[in-house]
A and B are shown apart, each in its own frame.
Chain A
Amino acid sequence: MRVLGLFVSITLIATFFSGCTQNTAKTKISLGGSTTVQPIADSAAAAFMKLHTNITVQVYGGGSSVGIKGVAKGTYDIGDASRSAVADDLKDISGVTIDQLIPHKIALDGIAIIVSKHIYDAGVTNISKAQLKGIYNHTITNWKTLGGPDATIFVVGRDTSSGTYVSFNDMLKLNETTQILDKSSSENAQVKAAVGGANNAIGYVGLGFVDSTTPALKLNGILPSIATISNNTYPLSRSLILYTKGEATGAVKMFIDFVLSPDGQAIVEQEEFVPLP
């Protein structure tokens, strides 16, 4: 009974306070999906709500598939994704076709190749696309091949359902069956922890996760940076997309326009992604 009483009083208090702040009817929009897009969405939502106090923006994570399915089902007003929607995403959802989902490209992201500091300091600072492919196919297994120390390569990747895994495989034309990982992680941060904690590891993460503890390699001689990704010279780049079901209208359109505005693109840059050129 005490628990029930507590529950009732919390509900009452919560109702009271929400009553105080929500004296005018607010428009609510929700967006959810890719955890890569989430930092941009969070900051943009905060800035947007400051400009438009009558609109509430709720941001959810879950992954690109969740975002695409969510917007198709109507759970979210905007679904965000770090890959393009495919017909298979909508398999379980009746009455929605792929052309009804309108993509709004908001930013670019580069997949950076990171290595353990020990390897970088030992002189491995550049890798070719073919070498990278060789490492993930286990035809190259020792750092010696790349001019590094005599140590077996600890190959870190993403879990097979992740958008980054699919993008990485697509961009490198890697096959899921021939690929061998020594560690697969469900988050960028876990890849970084695995590579940073080891002295023999290679992995791939979003540009925002590169720092001096896990230095990025040059790929075909090009260092991943905002400049090289936006002018498309860096080989592993991808687009971050907001999906709407049908053309965006009302508050949803206002939000997307805000993300595309100079202020919104400044947020993209501040979150260490690459603004649209």
Chain B
Amino acid sequence: MIVAERKPMEEIIQMIAPYKKVLLAGCETCVAICWTGGEKEVGILASQLRLARSNNGGKIDIVEATVERQCEKEMVEELREKVDGVEAVLSLACGAGIQTMADVFEDKPVFPAVNTTFLGRPEGEGVWLENCGACGDCFLDRTGGICPMVRCAKGILNGPCGGTRKGGKCEVDPDKDCAWVLIYNRLKKQGRLDLMYKYYPPKNFRAVKRPGKMEAIKA
């Protein structure tokens, strides 16, 4: 899933400062799961923004809406009437959703209320961890299912680097595991350590030429 975090409040308030009527649009997929941009979060942020504005002696009309997936043009289209009635759109969806809104409603300023951070999965309550870098050249078969591109802070293919801390923690952040120690342990457990002894040549960083595009093959 895509993980995003709400932007600092000052930034959001500044973005919509010139406007009196704004649509706050959420998404019920990834950002709802990570408690950033679902219907509930839309309600809370809308309330906060109204309080912020009235606190400064002003007034703002925040229209609240959520779609199932903000990255789908057809779903976003359902908001057209609401969008027509506002001056700007503030979106709590991930970057893909925000840009879909911006592309579909080309004449309206669309603002990001979140910073989209990574692809990952939940780990316990309220914690999400990055585990995929969308590099287009998946290496998981060679590392026991642990991605060295994003779970290693330096993204190296022949690890570990000399910076591993005591207990197998990462040079960069002592709270984070050294991915290559994790890979070593996983492959050892499976009796496939030979994979780690192999030399891996430099990565093809152009496997996905940005902006990426994929076309499904039609029968």
State whether these chains interact.
Answer: no
A: residues with CB less than 8 A from B are none
B: residues with CB less than 8 A from A are none
